[in-house]
Every structure is written in structure tokens, then in C-alpha cells.
Structure 1
Amino acid sequence: MEGQWVIWFSALVSSFLAYFLSELIGRRKKKSRANLPPGPPAWPIVGNILQLGKKPNESLWALSQQYGPLMTLSLGMKTAVVVSSSEMAKEIFKTHDQNFAGRTLIEAAKVNSHHESSIVFAQYGDYWRKVRRIAATELFTPTKLQVPQYLRRDQVS
């Protein structure tokens, strides 16, 4: 009889912890989606990928009819904002251009700190503009590109 009570109590405690963790995760997700546009509810791991089906363009059109020209989709573990009208795209790129100019930083770039010194992985800002200006004036000018031309000819031949 006492063994059943221990099993019952451990089941109660584990279900309480599972409920507490799910509420905590749910609140965190609600906070992170607070500033995002509306969108369909997503499955935990796959997101909205299953809703796109075999013809994603038609599925996105049907979702835009339901949620509007600006919606949020969860594509796996990534969140995407989908714009489905040209008027909304013009408005977004006119007013929120800085927010969409950044790049997704992959973990492989963080390992050797390539994201701190590379033009490829740099986020849009003062550093990126400075490095881009240097690359345009010092690396990609026609005279600088003509210098190793004999090496390219040797490789081609």
C-alpha cells in the first residue's frame, strides 16, 4: 500500500513540474511573439511547415486570406515574417528597413570569431559600412582585379 502512495505522489509531482515548465515556456513564447504580426498556430518542432503542403504558394495565399498581408510563420525552429502584398512590402521597407537588413548569424561563424571580423557575417551597421567601403575601393576596383590576371590565364590554360 505504501509503495502505491509513493508512485502516486511521484506521478503528481512530475505532472506538476511538467505543467509548470509548459506554462513557463508558453509565457516565454507569448512574450517573444508579442511584437510579431498574427499567424497560424505552430506545432512544437516542425512549426508551420506541414501547413505549406505540396504547393506552398497556394498555401501562403490561403493563409494570407485568413491572417492578412503580413503574418508570422514558424518554419522549423526559425520564425519568418511573410509579406504577401506589394503595398505592405513598400511600407515595411520604407519604415523598417534597418530591422530587415541584418543577417542570420550561424553557429559555425561564431566558433572562430569570424562574425567579428568578416564582411560576410557582419551585421548591418557602422562596421559593415566601413568594411564594405574599404573592399569596394581597395579590393574590387578594375585595376586591382587586373593584377592577378596572369594567374587566372595559367589556371584556365
Structure 2
Amino acid sequence: MEDLKNFIATINWTDPNLILGTVAAVTAVGVASHLLTNSSSPKALPLAPSPRGRLPILGHVLVIGTSPHTKFTEWSKELGPVFSLKMGAQHWIILNSAKPVRDLLDIRGSNYSGRHNNPILSMLSRDGEMYGFAMNGDFLRKWRRLTNNTISKSKLQANYNHMFNSESRAYLATLLREGGGPEGLDIDNATYLYTVSIARCNIVEPIKI
């Protein structure tokens, strides 16, 4: 090991030919490693068509612009409702119409329920305790079943219609009653209570201090 260190110390790293040779050697090793890895791994299914403008490393990041939905609509007219993008090191599959969304995420949802392992989302969701960001498994299936039983169309019609009407009347009455009072109306508090009551399908009473 000491002999190797001494040898490296004697190398003239300012020599252009040496630098060029080193870069070429590193590139050759990288290409060979990539080819060997691809040849030994099973062939993946082909991706959906991809738009022009893909850059090395960055992919399509710079061509999406500030209005991705507008760009996605433009690309869908050229490529169809399902297409792929390269966003940095990741491949994205874009579903840009209702039919593929229903076909893939609803009818065949069990095939596509997995989530990418994102360390930031994992920290923000307390390792998936916020089930909207949980990985596919028993925990997510249990909470999805509870959610679907609560917000299905029949449940919404049975539980929310009368609550929405009664809370809306109460909210308007509060605006009328307190809006003309000497202390005025705390619009933020009134709107917050109204919104939370509707969201929870429950009446939230203000705390009197």
C-alpha cells in the first residue's frame, strides 16, 4: 500500500497527455460496467413514447417549463394520453386523460399501488404513518378501505348533504349576526370552524375564554 502511495505521489498530474489518458480510462471503465450490468440484468419492458428535448443527466427537466399541465397536454396531442419523461435519474409515466387513469389506477390499481422510496416523504410522513404516503401493504390497504367506506358516493350523500346545508346556514347566520356587531366579525375563525365542521362531518364549537 505504501509503494502505491509513493507511486501516485510521483505522477505529474499537470501533464495533458496523462490527464487525457486518465479521463479516457475512467470513461472506458464506466461504459464497460454499464454494458455488463445491462447484459446481465433482465430486459425491462419498453417505456411509453417520450417527447423530444431530453438532455443528458437532466432529462426533460428544462423543457417542461413553469406550467407542466400545459406542456403535458401539448405532448399528449403528439404522443397520446400515456407517455414517459426522464426527470433527472428517474423515469416518470404521465397519464393525461381519464381513461388510462381509470384503467391503470382503478381497475388494475393493485398492480400499481407501490410507491417510490423517497427519504424526504418518509421523514415528513413519519415513515408512512400518514397513510397517503405509505408504502403498499396491509397498513395502506386498511386505511384505504376505511377511507373508501367513509367517502363513497352513497356515504357522502347520506352524511354530508344535510351537514353541508345546516353548516352553510349557520355560517351565513354568523356573518349576519356578528358582522354588524360593535366588535365586528372574526372572519378567519368563522371560516375555519365552518371548513373543519364540513371536513369532519361534525360540529366544532368555538371555545369561550
Gaps of 5+ in 1: 137-144
Moved more, 102-111 or 42-51: 102-111
RCO comparison, higher one (Cα < 8 Å, 6+): 1
1:44 aligns with 2:53: no
In structure 1, what is the Cα distance between the partners aligned to 2:87 and 2:23? 31
8 Å CA contact 1:83–1:89 kept in 2: the answer is yes
Gaps of 5+ in 2: 1-11, 149-199
Of residues 52, 61, 66, the one that matches 2:78 is 66
Of residues 85, 90, 96, the one that matches 1:84 is 96
Task: Give the letter aligned to residue 38 of structure 1.
Answer: P
Of residues 11, 19, 23, the one that matches 1:14 is 23
Structure 1 residue 7, shift from structure 2 partner: 4.6
In structure 1, what is the Cα distance between the partners aligned to 2:51 and 2:35? 16
In structure 2, what is the Cα distance between the partners aligned to 1:68 and 1:58? 14
8 Å CA contact 2:128–2:135 kept in 1: the answer is no
Structure 1 residue 104, shift from structure 2 partner: 4.1
Structure 1 residue 26, shift from structure 2 partner: 7.7
- Once the two structures are superposed, the pairs formed by residues 105-144 of structure 1 within 5 Å of their partners are 105-108=117-120, 114-115=126-127, 119=131, 121-130=133-142
8 Å CA contact 1:37–1:70 kept in 2: the answer is yes
C-alpha distance 86-22 of structure 1, shift in aligned 2 (>3 A): same
C-alpha distance 76-130 of structure 1, shift in aligned 2 (>3 A): same
Task: Give the letter aligned to residue 20 of structure 1.
Answer: V
SS in 1 for 2:27: helix
Q: Per-residue CA shift, 1:64-92, capped at 9, x if unaligned? A: 23332211112344432111233333322
TM-score, scaled to structure 1: 0.57
8 Å CA contact 1:70–1:82 kept in 2: the answer is yes
Identity %: 20
In structure 1, what is the Cα distance between the partners aligned to 2:32 and 2:72? 30
TM-score, scaled to structure 2: 0.46
